[in-house]
Amino acid sequence: MSASPPELNKLKHVAVIMDGNGRWAKERGLPRLEGHKAGAESVRAVCQACIEQEIPYLTLYAFSSENWKRPRHEIDGLMSLLERFLKTKMKEFNKQGIRLHAIGRLDRLPPKTRKALENTIERTKENNKLNLILSLSYGSREEIVDATRDIAMKVAAGKISIQDVDSELFSDHLYTANFPDPDLLIRSSGELRLSNFLLWQLSYAEIYVTKVYWPDFRGEEFMKAISEYQLRHRRFGDV
């Protein structure tokens, strides 16, 4: 079999399901929140690896719509941790050229968290080395429902025709309309499911699963995923 053309395996966008924080903490006799704190360092390491590899887009599944079902004290701890992360990483983001974005039903976030998020997005908007996209209060089924509702309202209002609705128009109404679809999905901790993450956008993505928990997933583990991706023969339905 001939090798894939180099341009097919040029990575533009990596998506990550950051899984295993709780189990990492439990195995060490620590509170679950300590696993999330340790996982924040893996975020830093993976961002740095993306910059070094000139990968312009990185999407991290940070807080799902289902995560709102967790105990109140854990949700509060996660929101506080996110606020701290945003405030303490601002200078580093600007130094490294990281531009922050967020997707999801962000109106559900606590006001303080949303304010910190909006502030970081605004103050990093001129950076161009890496687009870091946080999926917060995010669920792909909800995203698809929101897009469908938006399109239906436009059809009803006569702004677009039903004949105009195709996959491209639908993509333009998703939260990710301004970003390319991911080329590679990485999931840590060994779970073999998508967990309601980017169901539409991951249609043609390569999937890499590792048993390594997210707090232990650093630059070396990221490069293993990239190396595996480069070995894949991406046909996109062709032969």
Sheet containing strand 184-187, strands side by side: 98-103, 130-138, 57-64, 13-17, 184-187, 206-209
Residue 66 tokens read as: 């289902």
First-to-last alpha carbon distance for the chain, in angstroms, is 11
The beta strands (E) that lie in 8-65 are given as 13-17, 57-64
Active site includes 19?
yes
What lies within 8 Å, CB to CB, of 140 at 6+ separation is 194, 196, 197, 198, 199, 200
Active-site choice (9, 19, 181, 183): 19
- Distance of CA 160 to CAs 63, 147, 156, 175, Å? 34, 14, 8, 19
Contact between 176 and 57 (Cβ < 8 Å): no
User: Per DSSP, which regions of the chain are E strands?
Assistant: 13-17, 57-64, 98-103, 130-138, 184-187, 206-209
Q: How many CA atoms lie within 13 A of 94 on its CB side?
A: 13
**Over the Cα atoms of the chain, what is R_g?**
18
Q: Which of 9, 21, 67, 181 is catalytic?
A: 67
Kindly give, in sequence order, each residue whose CB lies less than 8 Å from that of residue 73, ignoring residues fewer than 6 positions away. none
Beta bridge partners of 103: 135
**Annotation marks residue 67 as catalytic:** yes
Catalytic residues: 19, 67
